[in-house]
Amino acid sequence: MSSLNNKVAIITGSTSGIGECIARMLSHCGSRVVLNSVHSVDKGNQLASELKHSIYIQGNIGIEEDCQRIVNQTIKHFGQIDILVNIAGQSARVLGDVLDISNDLFSKTLDVNVVGTWCLIREAMPYLKKSGDGNIINITSCAGMDPASASSAIPYSVAKAAINHLTKFLAKHCGPEIRANAIAPGLIMTPRTENFDEAVDKFKTRTPLKRTGMPEDIAELAIAIIKSNYINGEIILADGGFSTS
């Protein structure tokens, strides 16, 4: 079992929801945490002051220079990178006909979610390899695995499916120094999803557990994956059994 004590973890999109919860749990387990967001600078700095041995770095993973800066500042401050949790991305819901999905919307969604995620992984990879116990966890979505859960978010779902596939390739090519896995959550109640009334009703009705998920459900799974050092190349669906309905 891998120890989390004194590990350095970058968590993108970590000033609220799943990312914040993962950051708090990793810090509680003794890890040094790098928080990140595009806009929530005040919240990021506040969290960094609350969590022991943590820093906040503003940056947009969709911009290559920002990915380089996030990694460089982490190395300058902590000297190592052991864990990379990729959460940051762009959602795109189209409430009209599928023909209303523009090329521009599709391209932007893929660029941030897929290319941005890859860019940060590429920049961090030499340090993750140097760690010898490197961990990449990509937070994707059940929508990238099950079209029934995709609703109106087709570009987002396709992007998450691509990251699932990327995770498999990373697991194949980055060992033995790095493990790569993904978590595909169902509907998790966060500030971003609190107004998704139709989706909430669907998950509460069709999910065997009769509830939506909470950020803690995903954070606990992320911690378990990092600790269990023979899990590699897995896309773990955490949707309360929605896919069985």
CB of 74 closer than 8 Å to CB of 131 = no
Distance CA(165)–CA(5), nearest Å, equals 30
Q: Is 56 considered catalytic here?
A: no
Peptide bond into 215 cis (omega under 30): no
Give the integer Cα–Cα distance in Å for 139 and 222.
9
In angstroms, the CA 215 to CA 23 distance is: 11
CB 33 within 8 A of CB 51: yes
List residues bridging with 139 in a β-sheet.
Answer: 183
User: Of 56, 127, 156, 230, which one is the catalytic site residue?
Assistant: 156
Bridge partners (DSSP) of residue 37 are: 58
Residues serving a catalytic function are 156
